[in-house]
Amino acid sequence: MPDYEKELILKQERVGQLLSGLVPVVEPIIGADDPYHYRNKVHAALGIERGRIVAGTYEPGTHKIIDGGGNGLENETAVEVINDIVKIATKYHMSIYNEKTGQGFLRRILVRTADATGQMLVVVVVTDHMFPGKKNFVKTLVGKHPEITSIVININKRTDSMILGDKSEVCYGPGFITDELLGKKFTISAESFYQINRKQAEKLYSKAIEYAALSKSNRVLDAYCGTGTIGICMSDHCSSVTGVELNPKAVSDAGHNIRKNNATNVKVIKADATKYMNENAASGMFDVVVLDPPREGTTPEFIKACAKISPSRIVYVSCNPETLARDLKLFAGEGYKAVNACPVDMFSGTEHVETVVLLSKGIDISAGKLRVEISVEDMDLSAAHGNASYNKIKKHVYEKTGLQVSNLNIAQIKRKYGIIERENYNLPKSENSKQPNCTPEKEKAIVAALQYFKMIG
């Protein structure tokens, strides 16, 4: 069994165990198509070892630099850029910052890449605004790596462990890059928050959108909204999105992203989310609440405030299943029961796992009462026709191959083999919706499942 498959099984088991008794359905984990070289933000500290410049990450719990520092997770081109900067620094005899003495010029390197657009931002952190030979440095670096679209010099004179200083100078390109998530464009600067793994972020956000089950009349509150990525990706599916964020830099970046995408139905407010919800509890302004808190999870005060505005659905995007389990118990105390959960492997090669959870008000399983709103178009009726249901097919494919397939994937193959779907079933909601083709590997697995269930010969 491949190591990555084992990793996914362990993460699935961990989430399942922590959410046992709290969530009736935990879906199979959504793994990565390629678990390597996904990190689009690569940082290297610099130092001197045995008379030569080294660059890499710190050994855990120490300030000893692991030269090369790569573990197979970083963008390969970004690592090459860092290695070439070390060569250039050696050639031009640039002094390297020493943490103990506070002396030296070249301090750190940060490389950010945009997977969808191919753009690359290089941030060189130095200790002084005077950069002798800066033009030659930039010319040499871009000559070696024409894929670089912007270079920023950041001045950091601090004596602590902060990576970036307060002042930056753009010396090549616009000073930022642009990437895409679910067709929306986002600007990434040296300081901006952006998902480390773009491809998995798209799967994470797609699952959140699926759970939100938005209609064009729904009003969404995006708590802990950061730079607005989730809310903007949801904006085409609902009436309005109100993002709430306390960090002023994130609010500024969110405003820029809103304008960039012409998302006129999205606004971001600089405020504490708990306070904002308490102040607007009586207004009935929101149908759906989305929250994506830090690893510490949310607070009892936030959960009580969320219950006061009484949304019909809550979508919780968690990066820590331990605090998620704690918070789900508190939500249950306010009348919101978890309906579904789905782990998403955002950070392969690490112990971390994201989980999306749908909570709904008015579900009382213990009393034998279940209130569910469901449209005919959302139902899987294949079992009623004597065939295996979509969920059975997905489960069979996952158990046999470890592959995650969607209803759309199955529908595409069923149509290809002449199994007629009812009109509009599993088709996108609009003509402009993207319909990704099923990969050959997934098609083979689905065909095998259809044969297993005797739906095709």
Q: Please, which residues bridge with residue 246 across strands?
A: none
* Model confidence at 1: pLDDT above 80: no
* Model confidence at 288: pLDDT above 80: yes
* Model confidence at 205: pLDDT above 60: yes
Question: Distance of alpha carbon 105 from its chain centroid, rounded?
Answer: 35
3-34+197-361 and 41-183 in the same fold = no
Cα(65)–Cα(184) distance, integer angstroms: 37
The per-residue pLDDT for 25 is 93
What is the enclosing helix (H) or strand (E) of 241?
A: strand 240-245
Angle between helices 390-401 and 440-452 (to 10 degrees): 110
- pTM of model > 0.75: yes
* Model confidence at 368: pLDDT above 70: no
Query: What average pLDDT does the chain have?
Result: 88
Q: What mean pLDDT do residues 11-19 have?
A: 97
What is the enclosing helix (H) or strand (E) of 456?
A: none
Catalytic residues: 319
* Model confidence at 21: pLDDT above 50: yes
Cα(442)–Cα(448) distance, integer angstroms: 10
Length of the chain (residues): 457
Helices and strands: H and E segment counts in the chain: 12, 17
Q: If one looks up domain 3-34+197-361 in CATH, what number appears?
A: 3.40.50.150
Parse the chain into domains and list their residue ranges. 3-34+197-361, 41-183, 376-452
93-120 pLDDT per residue, tens: 999 999 889 999 999 999 999 999 999 9
213-272 pLDDT per residue, tens: 999 999 999 999 999 999 999 999 999 999 999 999 899 999 999 999 999 999 999 999
Q: What mean pLDDT do residues 294-309 have?
A: 94
Q: What mean pLDDT do residues 365-394 have?
A: 49
Domain 41-183 falls in which CATH fold? Answer: OB fold (Dihydrolipoamide Acetyltransferase, E2P) (2.40.50)
CB atoms within 10 A of CB 267: 16
CB atoms within 10 A of CB 425: 17
* pLDDT class of 409 with cuts at 50, 70, 90: confident
Q: What tokens appear for 162 in the block? A: 């902060």
